[in-house]
A and B are shown apart, each in its own frame.
Chain A
């Protein structure tokens, strides 16, 4: 198993409030990792630090390059824009750019960052949109799509550049319940196809079914991690048990 991402001793605080207090985590290729935890436990911050959208206070972040060699991306000299292009990121909401068509949204990173010719990028983009049943909406604007369609378009936009790692930050939290299923189904498919995914989620049933590993985060530290069966079925830590019982009830 080759490592895609390695976090060592990540610390981050906002002002005097510590959010991450020493996170160590290794992510291997084809793993689907579900990060669970209460609101404010640091899930979103963790994902943002991996994508270099936040600067960390201490620790190191290593990301595998195309050859599989780990590179320290927390080094300020690292090329942040090029690194972000190797990581797909989907936010809770407001992902798509409202002034660009759906197709332009999906192809933007390929065209502007990877300098793929428009025709090639659009062919790939249409394929991706076709896959999520939105080929006929390629020329539509994001506001003409439902929330679920927007999130699915945001996901294919994130994978359009073939990123080594996909980060999903509570992507169904802002959706109406009946729209959640389609979005999760797409994540399930991507996982089954071998994508490496780290997702912060409140969808426990989904995490249990799809994740290869579950990481429980509480007050900025990883309290427990393991297979879904172990973490959900037989949690070793009291804090995990407490969190899960609150969540399941």
Chain B
């Protein structure tokens, strides 16, 4: 121990550190320089295209930008509500479907087949078609008598139908990626199939597929913008309304920016969360 406190890096080590430092500095400068150069080239190319001034006016008009923020932002709150409902319902339905697909034994064949058919159907159908079918089909079922179902509910149903199919597949892949010995160890302790799933397999599976789940979440964040086809005044529809009045596309840029701003924290959070899990469990060594 006394050795440790008295230790001073040798001159060889100091030399190595100096080399590493200067190399690191050089890499940073090269990276920065090439990024700036690339940005400058893109900027100069775009600015010098013949239609640039017209495009700038139609898409990046500062006045329209500021004016459209309140209405687009108000519409965006609807997108956020639909997103909130959908996250909860997708989590529940996706987990249920994944669980059904892992059931063993011939008794559960109908349930397994049902879950398989469901994921096949809704992974294959474009979301916009599901939105049309749900958004106009379900209200039509009521005939002329029923009360009006709000578009945000219909939108939530459509998004849930589609995304729970994706999410259940991700979860199922995660569950199947857990080493079979973990299931055996859980069953050998006397845990039931459901307990083994809940306590042992699903927690490990979710940790593993968190990046994939978050990826689905990000793509869901922007797909809630599609509910505008149902007539709800969300961010996209609000932008459309302003565009129809002002003949300017800038509101779409505003709506686009709002969606990007929503996505970035999620993406960063995912990176941070997975890194933390890895550090805590030192995963990768056995599982």
Q: Are A53 and B188 in contact (CB under 8 A)?
A: yes
A97 within 8 A of B: yes
Residues in A with CB closer than 8 Å to B179 are 94
B87 within 8 A of A: no
B41 within 8 A of A: no
Residues in A with CB closer than 8 Å to B192 are 81
Interface SS of B by simple majority: helix
Q: Are B185 and A141 in contact (CB under 8 A)?
A: no
Residues in B with CB closer than 8 Å to A53 are 184, 187-188
- Tell me whether A143 and B282 are in contact in the complex, defined as CB-CB below 8 angstroms, given that A94-B181, A99-B204, A108-B199 are known contacts: yes
Q: Are A144 and B282 in contact (CB under 8 A)?
A: yes
Among the listed stretches A84-92, A182-190, A220-228, which one makes contact with chain B, having 4 or more residues with CB under 8 Å of it? A84-92
Q: Are A97 and B191 in contact (CB under 8 A)?
A: no
A162 within 8 A of B: no
Residues in B with CB closer than 8 Å to A96 are 185
Within 8 A of B (CB), among A49-101: 51, 53, 81-87, 89, 91, 93-99
Contact partner, B281, options A83, A86, A89, A141, Cβ 8 Å = A141
Q: How far is the CA of A84 from the CA of B190 in the complex (A)?
A: 5
Q: Are B195 and A112 in contact (CB under 8 A)?
A: yes
B283 within 8 A of A: yes
Residues in A with CB closer than 8 Å to B73 are none
Q: Are B189 and A109 in contact (CB under 8 A)?
A: yes
Closest Cβ of chain B to A210, distance in Å, is 22
- Tell me whether A143 and B190 are in contact in the complex, defined as CB-CB below 8 angstroms, given that A112-B195, A112-B199 are known contacts: no
Q: Are B191 and A143 in contact (CB under 8 A)?
A: no
A229 within 8 A of B: no
Residues in B with CB closer than 8 Å to A51 are 188
Q: Are B286 and A143 in contact (CB under 8 A)?
A: yes
B80 within 8 A of A: no
Pairs of residues from A and B, 3 with the lowest C-beta to C-beta distance, nearest first = A85-B190, A89-B188, A109-B189
A sample of 16 inter-chain contacts (CB < 8 A) reads A81-B191, A82-B190, A84-B189, A89-B189, A97-B182, A97-B185, A99-B204, A99-B207, A108-B189, A112-B189, A143-B281, A143-B283, A143-B285, A143-B286, A157-B189, A161-B189
